[in-house]
Structure 1
């Protein structure tokens, strides 16, 4: 199999540095940058990879000199998205069950009245207990 951009292959970690890991794929060595090691934040590559580990990588780019940029993170993302998602439609239907119109209106009116009363209290506190005409309520 010839390596080209976008292909996924298995490789072996041959060297670990503070900025990534070098992985040998089909006789060629490429770099997996620290940002492409895992989906989570990686501070120390050696905590995620060891030399001689077998890893699945995606070829991100190959420059004119034959240097490869590789990604473990993106190779694993392909595997995750290929799997179909199972949905329990009965649970979804129960979650989205529609409440009748009268119940929704009464709930709305109750919440509105509570909010209106809170606003009135707050205004009265700001005005020192006086309404617009200057007398207390």
Structure 2
């Protein structure tokens, strides 16, 4: 049985590392599921999602000339039709600003001025907070 890119297969987790999991495929070959391909959300510890011996469904992402096989668990799951086009990092879901329509009509200079004012306000608030924790500027002990 040859491994083809795009095919979905059942496999068994044979090893876990800090960067992913090795999965044995039906034909006896082994592929790697990178930690970023384990789940749709951020995976800090792969052991929260997989254990050695688990049976998993994987999708073949690539097969290198040297025999390395790239696999994905999250892409093997059936995606809902309405969100399948939003999984390309460069496309964002559209937001609907019902109350903030005035922002879209602002010029670049107005947006920049508002950003600078908000940024300066946050910085001064942060400085006040950290200085009060340290005892202020004039509180030197000698």
Q: TM-score range by the shorter chain?
A: 0.5 to 0.7
Q: Which has the larger radius of gyration?
A: 1
Structure with more helix by fraction:
1
SS in 2 for 1:75: coil
**Aligned twin of 1:34:** 35
- The residue aligned with 1:13 is 13
What is the deviation of 1:29? 0.4
Gaps of 5+ in 2: 82-142
Say which SS state the counterpart of residue 80 (structure 2) adopts. helix
Structural mapping, 1:36-51, within 5 Å: 36-51=37-52
Matched residues in 2 for 1:4 and 1:72: separation? 16
Structure 1: give runs of 5+ residues left out of the alignment: 83-137
C-alpha separation between the residues in 1 aligned to 2:75 and 2:47?
A: 19
Instruction: Output the TM-score relative to the length of structure 2.
Output: 0.54
Question: Structure 2 matches for 1:1-137, cutoff 5 A?
Answer: 1-26=1-26, 27-76=28-77, 79-81=78-80
Structure 1 outlier segments of 4+, above 2 Å: none
TM-score (norm 1): 0.56
Q: Number of residue pairs matched?
A: 81
- Aligned Cα root-mean-square deviation (Å): 1.5
